[in-house]
Amino acid sequence: MKDTNVVETALSKKSTLRQVLQAPVIIAALGYFVDIYDLLLFSIVRVSSLKALKLSGDQLLEKGIFLINVQMAGLLVGGILWGILGDKRGRLSVLFGSILLYSLANLANGFVTDVPQYAVLRFIAGVGLAGELGAGITLVAEILPKEIRGYGTTLVASVGLFGAVLAYFVANATNWQVAYWIGGGLGLCLLLLRYSVAESGMFASVAKKHVERGNFLALFTDSGRLVNYLRCILIGLPIWFVIGILITFSPEFGTKLSLPGLVDAGKAVMFGYVGLSVGDLTSGSLSQLFRSRKKIVFLFVLLTGATMAFYLKGAGSSLGTFYFACFLLGLAIGYWALFVTIAAEQFGTNLRATVATTVPNFVRGTVLPLTFAFEFLRARTDMITSAWLVGASTIIIALLALWKMKETFGKDLDYVE
């Protein structure tokens, strides 16, 4: 009897693995890999590319913030555009269209000669980059059984986040222009693989019915739906504060912390995203083990607050300690996959892509108000104090948003709003 149970368990695990490692899941993961490569590449090559454009000193920070804000504005626009298209035209149309747009934009980034050109192309790239994750997570969530879809979305995010590691090594092995060209080329190559992926059965079924799909304004016409939508966005605030400010401007923080050496921005991004990938694997596995998304997100938000404190208070003793702090920050915000999965699970099939695509991009877009608040406070206090105040605010807001959020583990997604 015992041997029979062992065999049944082994077969069950093999069946789960086979279901998770379907072509759509693997290709969605590779797509997000290229997406993250291109999204984070500017943070890695910010200093070298702006120096090549004859900028120096405080301009590296000021123009860097400007270009990141432009890219994030593109993500906001693209999030709405691709989200609506994902529900109206299908998940696959977004996967094709978004990767084509950001791949071409990143190829062109290697030819910029001034900041205005850079800004236009980062905006276009931002629009393109906005569609990849939401459409991929929506597709994976809809094709996998509800009991194991957390494994699929976790795999997509975890594999994808290693794109930042590749971006770091490519940028260091070549120059900033070649790094952009390689990213664009990888995206165009990925398009060839996309032809082997079928559309979501849930979407195909809803598309045959007379149901309104992709109505972005419908998220604002019902108070319960709106509050639910805002909660999905606000629980992700600490994630992008860490990425958009603490990690992106790590060289400046290293200087303020009086580190015995200069911080390599690319290396900080790499360590942060290795931690983020490990964190996503951990949080996704824990959510499956404890059968709860909400409890694990709560744990990781608290962990994020603790690692922020370590970064701002105790990471100034050496470069090694500082990079370790970047890794811990990434590990703590490794509820990114859960955060996007929760958003996809909160809404019906006719609005799911709209929500799953806009929510992560609106969170990315919060870099605009977060950097504004950070700069406002920095001018009146100092860089470290400003980071303390803004970072603590994101933790408090995320915990309040999570407080009354509905648990979505194992929820049946075959329904409409």
Give the per-residue pLDDT at 258.
87
DSSP 237-259: HHHHHIIIIIITTHHHHHHHTT-
Let me know if 295 is exposed, middle or buried by CB neighbors in 10 A (0-12, 13-18, 19+): middle
What percent of the chain shows pLDDT beyond 70? 96
The amino acid sitting at 82 is: W
DSSP 160-172: HHTHHHHHHHHHH
Cα separation of 219 and 190, whole Å? 33
How confident is the model over 234-242, as a mean pLDDT? 95
Cα separation of 290 and 116, whole Å? 50
The amino acid sitting at 397 is: I
Give the per-residue pLDDT at 15.
72
Look at residues 139, 392, 124 and name the one whose alpha carbon lies nearest to residue 245. 392
Give the per-residue pLDDT at 13.
54
In degrees to the nearest 10, what's the CA dihedral of 90, 91, 94, 99?
-150
- Model confidence pLDDT, tens digit, residues 345-354: 999 989 999 9
Q: Quick one: how far is CA 326 from the chain centroid?
A: 17
Look at residues 277, 285, 234, 28 and name the one whose alpha carbon lies nearest to residue 141. 28
Give the per-residue pLDDT at 370.
92
Task: Quote the number of domains for the chain.
Answer: 1
What percent of the chain shows pLDDT beyond 90? 43
Rg, Å, the chain Cα set: 21
**Do residues 334 and 318 touch, judged by C-beta distance below 8 A?**
no
Cβ neighbours of residue 204 closer than 8 Å, sequence gap 6 or more? 90
Cβ neighbours of residue 76 closer than 8 Å, sequence gap 6 or more? 130, 361, 362, 364, 365, 368
Cα separation of 61 and 67, whole Å? 10
Cα separation of 150 and 119, whole Å? 37
Domain-embedded: residue 178: yes
Least confident of 200-204, 265-269, 293-297, 304-308: 200-204
Give the per-residue pLDDT at 394.
97
In degrees to the nearest 10, what's the CA dihedral of 107, 80, 215, 409?
100
Give the per-residue pLDDT at 9.
47
Domain-embedded: residue 273: yes
CA angle 375, 322, 326 (to 5 degrees): 70
**Do residues 199 and 91 touch, judged by C-beta distance below 8 A?**
yes
Least confident of 147-151, 279-283, 322-326: 147-151
Q: What share of the chain is helix, strand, coil (3-state, %, to 5)?
A: 80, 0, 20
Most distant CA atoms of the chain, gap in Å: 74
**Do residues 93 and 86 touch, judged by C-beta distance below 8 A?**
yes
Domain-embedded: residue 180: yes
**Do residues 408 and 342 touch, judged by C-beta distance below 8 A?**
yes
Domain-embedded: residue 30: yes
Kindly report the average pLDDT of the chain as a whole number.
88
Cβ neighbours of residue 333 closer than 8 Å, sequence gap 6 or more? 238, 239, 242, 243, 276, 279, 300, 304
Six token digits for residue 92? 């696959």
Q: Does 47 score more than 80 pLDDT? A: yes
CATH number at residue 40: 1.20.1250.20
Domain-embedded: residue 205: no
**Confidence bin at 366 (pLDDT 50/70/90):** confident
Domain-embedded: residue 323: yes
Let me know if 13 is exposed, middle or buried by CB neighbors in 10 A (0-12, 13-18, 19+): exposed
Domain-embedded: residue 411: no
- Model confidence pLDDT, tens digit, residues 169-207: 898 899 999 999 999 999 998 888 776 677 777 877 887
- In which domain, by residue range, is 250 found? 23-195+218-403
- Model confidence pLDDT, tens digit, residues 55-80: 888 888 888 888 988 988 898 899 99
Domain-embedded: residue 316: yes
Tokens 């997100």 label which residue? 297
How far is CA 402 from each of CA 68, 115, 287, 343, 370, rounded to the nearest angstrom?
A: 28, 40, 15, 12, 20
